[in-house]
Chains A and B, each alone.
Chain A
Amino acid sequence: MLRALATRFLSMLATLLAVVTGAFFLMRAAPGGPFDLERPLDPAVLENLRRIYRLDEPLWRQYLDYLGSLLRFDFGPSYFWRDISVNELFANAIPVSARLAALAILLALVVGALAGAFAASRARSKTDVAVTAAASVGVTLPNFVVAPALQLVFGLWLRWLPTGGWGDGALKNLILPVATLALPQIAVIARLTRAAMIEALAGPAARTAQAYGLPSRVILGRAFRSALLPLISYLGPASAALLTGSVVVETIFGLPGLGRYFVEAALNRDYTLAMGTVVMVAAVVIAVNALVDVAYAFVDPRIRHG
């Protein structure tokens, strides 16, 4: 078990190193730099800038420097927002994205698992068909289609909720973005729960429980436990999907989170900010996946003792 954890941790670090290396050389290979403005800078000024940002050193030095500063959790200065460091931007942006993602996955787990369990408990009924159909709609609709539709209905026609803005994280500003982020996850989680529970309910354990005359509440509860495994392993892909979704959601709703900063950084050729975001996002997704593996091992005795 400990050995497996250590291997997992090492492969996690290796993947992260590959991401950092890939991002670093991708940036350096890109044509045009952050200081290519409409009006060319004075050569002396450019020379100074390059020295301050250490762009005049050999590439391998820059790479090692960057790795070194990453080890100290220092993402360097932003190339675009001249007086601000990437760390300062992150300090503001990460809480925003983290709150959105956490609320979205919470909502998705509760609503998705309930809907899936409900559908499984009356498989092939009209309710089941409706939940399945709704889930395939939720999976198919892209979030950049859902978000404007929600803005239109709840923001402009009904005027219940603001169409955008952070408002210091007020509940009414959070509802639409969280709903947009959660919708596809609700659909996937409902599908996973339904499929796993239907399989468990058809299995010998459920049949035996039924033969013993246990109440259906208990049988359903046991079947739900077997749906936990696919749900836990889905959390890995879900974290990647939520971070990707945050790019669209934060752009549409004008929220000051990581995703929006990332798009702006990419468009502004803000190398350090864009690279920092990629590293950050990759680290989160890789960490979540590793945690999922560990949690899986704790939940599933076959893996724990195997």
Chain B
Amino acid sequence: MDRPTTAFSRFRADRAAFSAALALIALALFAFAGPSLAPLAYDKAYPDYVKAAPSWRAHPHADEALTALQSVADHMHVTVASSTPQNGALAATLTASRPIDPRLLAYFPRSDAFGEAKVAATRDDGKTLDIVAALKPIPLYAGADANGRDLLARMMVGARISFIVGALGSAVAVLIGVAYGAVAGYAGGRVDAVMMRAVDALYALPFIFFVILLVAFFGRRFELIFLAIGAVEWLDMARLVRGQTLSLKRREFVAAAEAMGVAPLDILKRHIVPNLIGAVAAFLAVLAPRVILLESFLSFLGLGVQEPLTSLGALIADGAHNLEDAPWLALLPSALLSAILFAFNILAAGLSDAFDPRSRR
């Protein structure tokens, strides 16, 4: 059998990596297009549906409509004599010892279960009202959190934060790592030794503790989060770029540029860095999930983006507090985060195989 020759065709032939790439595109669509397509807003609370379980049918379910009707009747100081469900509405007969003011029907839309209610018939000098209350359909496909907010919309927004932080944090790490690694590799000799010894020393430090301090003390601002994460994750990038630069600088085109008297900084910019793009891009698939994981870790500790905005880590933390009566609040965001991380990891393995066929498993 012919071995595919170009990096892309090798990648295309790797079924696992190719489907991981497709899955990531689908997840990104879920995160970025989802919030505008989702039926409910991520920050709107429905107090009637606190910790509602995931359900394909829109709320209110039949029993919830009856409970809501009873609660509205209590506010109106009337009794529910009978009720019959209709298509998309609830017909009911309300009675009281005095005439019922039809304006009291304004209580219906205040409930999460009902829209407008209309009087169908008035009997007993107004002491009995036949009403028809429209049901307000609220689809909670993934259930609702402890404040009655739609978990599906919140997961979309959380995944969006993950992707954005993943992209920005990786960009910061790439900027620092490429600059540092390229300078160290190109300078070589003692400068290189000192710079890489510093990287080795930094490797040994538990940086996450510093990031926690930074974010806790300087405010939980979005910019700070991805800057801090990027400032931690550049070490591997610097090592990779230095190694590539070492081999690039022995190539003829660099020697030619040096012979023509091009300044070292210009050689770096025009000849070294552009040739690093392939390796750096492949390494992004390794870097991005690490950044996403670190952001979720911070959010889990309550140090990430703040309410009402949310992140997958914050959702999992909320879910962990409600494990007993609403386990899906932890399980669904956990599954989403794991899916994103898995897809990146499989993609990264596929990319490294595609760009370096010698390392084939």
* Complexed CA–CA distance, A4 and B303 (Å): 42
Q: Is B285 an interface residue (CB 8 A)?
A: no
Total B residues in contact with A, Cβ cutoff 8 Å: 39
User: Which residues 1-53 in A have Cβ within 8 Å of B in the complex?
Assistant: 11, 15, 18-19, 22-23, 26-27, 30-32
Contact A285 B341, CB 8 Å, known A152-B327, A267-B216: no
Q: Which residues of B contact A27 (CB under 8 A)?
A: 213, 217
Closest CB of chain B to A26's CB: distance in Å? 6
In the complex, are the beta carbons of B214 and A26 less than 8 A apart? Answer: yes
Tell me whether chain A's interface is mostly helix, strand or loop, or mixed: helix
Q: List 15 A-B contacts (CB under 8 A).
A: A18-B201, A26-B210, A26-B217, A142-B337, A148-B320, A149-B330, A156-B324, A240-B205, A262-B212, A266-B216, A266-B303, A267-B216, A267-B302, A274-B216, A281-B209
**B204 interface residue (CB < 8 Å to A):** yes
Segment of B67-75, B267-275, B293-301 engaged in the interface with chain A: B293-301
Among residues of A, the one whose C-beta sits closest to the C-beta of B219 is A31
Q: Tell me whether B320 and A263 are in contact (CB under 8 A).
A: no
| CB closest chain-A residue, reference B301 | A263
Q: Contacts A11-B201, A140-B342, A148-B319; is A269 near B217 (CB within 8 Å)? A: yes
Which among A240, A247, A269 is the interface contact of B301 at CB below 8 angstroms? A247
C-alpha spacing A149/B300, complex, angstroms? 15
Is B206 a contact of A140 with CB atoms below 8 Å? no
Q: Interface size for chain A: under 10, 10 to 19, 20 to 34, or 35 or more residues?
A: 35 or more
Q: A263 to chain B: which residues have CB within 8 Å? A: 212, 301
Q: B204 to A236, Cβ gap below 8 A? A: yes
The residue that B212 contacts in the complex, of A139, A156, A247, with Cβ under 8 A, is A247
Bound CA–CA A285/B320 (angstroms): 30
Please judge, given known A-B contacts A142-B341, A263-B212, whether A248 and B217 are in contact too, CB under 8 Å.
no
* Beta-carbon contact of A142 and B296 below 8 Å: yes
Q: Does A97 contact B (CB under 8 A)?
A: no
Chain A 252-295 interface residues, beta-carbon cutoff 8 Å to B: 252, 262-263, 266-267, 269, 274, 277-278, 281-282, 285-286, 289
B334 touches A140 (CB 8 A): no
B residues in contact with A267, CB < 8 Å: 216, 302
Which residues on the A side are within 8 Å of B210 (C-beta)?
22-23, 26, 278
Q: Assess whether B316 is in contact with A145, with CB atoms less than 8 Å apart.
A: yes
In the bound complex, how far is the Cα of B210 from the Cα of A232, in angstroms? 26
| A144 and B341 contact, CB distance less than 8 A | no
A227 in the interface (beta carbon within 8 A)? no
Give the distance in Å from the alpha carbon of A151 to the alpha carbon of B330 in the complex: 11
Question: Chain B residue with minimal CB distance to A157?
Answer: B327
| CB neighbours of B204 from chain A (8 A) | 15, 236, 240, 285-286, 289
